[in-house]
Copies of this chain bind each other. A is one copy, B any other.
């Protein structure tokens, strides 16, 4: 099986021509992100991901992780060494503040690199993904002392971090959290059990920093009574050296459908005197702090959707080129199945959903860079907020389809585990669930991101998409054709949004009923917008001298395929969305 080959050309094209990397490099603090530097970083990350991390993917799936009798998680052979290479290469420090040892690179560039780790090996890649979110949460909410003590070692990769939210009775519903924190001197004693803690325990780094949600004794009920704590696996002395083991650890590992090499731990805090923890941010405001981490993680999971789609696509293309079966239409000799129309339809579906998702995810990260460093911060923040549930929701739902097609292209061999296609399918299945299910993303999009601002951020997005179409309509015949159907789709998205704004006031079930279809509609349309932008850029490039002609032609065909074969789904999503809530809610609960 071939290893992962990072799509550096597509990444660079998106950075340069869709995201506007030159503008981002001009933002204060990003001066180091020159085109040469970006190219060098992508090149090096491409090597590490393809040569070191990717070969561990199938091994990790087959061998999984184990919890030994001392409560230590043993990772698959090679995982620790790969992590050390990652840490020593400074890869964990890319987007962080130089004050803490970071390289101060743009978020969108860090996202490119993060996509590579996730394509190479989702199980392995979850560990650095979680550390990055924790660093952001600490940067934005931690006291100076906590920052100084914890961030540098996380940035350097010497330590890793986890997110401890879920409890058995509190999954999507964080209001139901029961873990307790009792004040004791300058710290707290944490007691409680957390489940589904990714990389909660392992042997790849010398310390693990748990970010834990818990309630103080005087906490109000609900989500406004939750506080956030740092609970290190090994206590950290004032001089930064490691002290004793804290009163916490993994008590069991889950037996999962996929991501077998990522330890999913049941964590117990405070079986004895209580785990020592330190408050992050204000009392009872832990959820706001955690949301920083979660929003980062949500974009990251959307990116995982793109990443596993890319990997599944590469594997399927390799197989379709090699596998000879039946003559293609109009031929007499048996041909590689890549020549058969239905196989091409599958491969092109995989390809274009991946390209569109990648461009959309990077658009969100690009806006994040403008939000963090630019002038129109509020405007960009609204865009990032709006795109986050779309990227998370749509790119992970499409990852189910793409990895499923990856199995399908392989025919019977796809169902055999040795082929590797099934692993991507199994691994991808978690993506629509963790960091907020697709339903939670959809409700975020409908509620906080559309109803709350009366559709303002969505209106701005619709206007920008329409502008893009208008320009294309003045362009070549080809661009006019590509943008023609997108225009109708954008209009229908706008109509659906107005239906939501109008009808949800009179029907408490409407928002929840249409949320998923609204999200998928928005994703499909936004994906089309990105493909149109890509087609425009490709055509522009073709008129220059040093264009990569093959790449630009392929991009135009991708855009055409997307509009022909993917975009028409918008009618199905919109039709379902505007059908209201009655037939969804009407059946008596006992009659299911």
Contacts and interface: CB of A to CB of B under 8 A. Distances in A.
B581 A341 contact: yes
A173 interface: yes
B585 A564 contact: no
Interface in A297-348: 317, 320-321, 324-326, 329-330, 334, 336, 338-348
Contacts of A171: 325, 411-412
A172 interface: yes
Given A516-B342, A575-B568, A173 B581 contact: no
Contacts of A564: 576, 579-580, 583-584
B256 A344 contact: no
A425 interface: yes
A370 interface: no
A515 B342 CA distance: 7
Contact of A560 (B254, B341, B426, B583): B583
A132 interface: no
A415 B439 contact: no
Contact of A257 (B195, B255, B422, B563): B422
Contacts of A195: 412
Nearest to A504: B329
Interface string A560-584: 1101111111111111100111111
A468 interface: no
Q: Quick one: copies of this chain in the complex?
A: 2
Interface residues of A, number: 102
A569 to B, nearest CB: 4
B591 A550 contact: yes
30 contacts: A166-B412, A171-B412, A176-B325, A256-B416, A257-B407, A257-B426, A321-B592, A336-B589, A340-B439, A341-B509, A341-B513, A342-B442, A342-B512, A344-B585, A344-B587, A348-B583, A348-B584, A412-B433, A415-B433, A550-B588, A550-B591, A557-B587, A564-B583, A565-B584, A567-B575, A568-B572, A568-B573, A568-B574, A568-B575, A571-B575
Interface of A: 166, 169, 171-173, 175-176, 195-196, 254-258, 317, 320-321, 324-326, 329-330, 334, 336, 338-348, 351, 400, 404, 407-408, 411-412, 414-418, 422, 425-426, 429-430, 432-434, 437-439, 442-443, 508-509, 511-513, 515-517, 550, 553-554, 557-558, 560-561, 563-576, 579-589, 591-592
Sorted from nearest, which 4 A-B pairs have the closest CB atoms? A568-B575, A341-B512, A564-B579, A571-B571
Given A340-B439, A557-B587, 20 more contacts: A169-B324, A175-B326, A176-B334, A195-B412, A196-B412, A330-B508, A338-B592, A341-B509, A341-B513, A344-B584, A344-B587, A345-B584, A348-B584, A550-B588, A553-B591, A557-B583, A561-B583, A563-B583, A569-B572, A570-B572
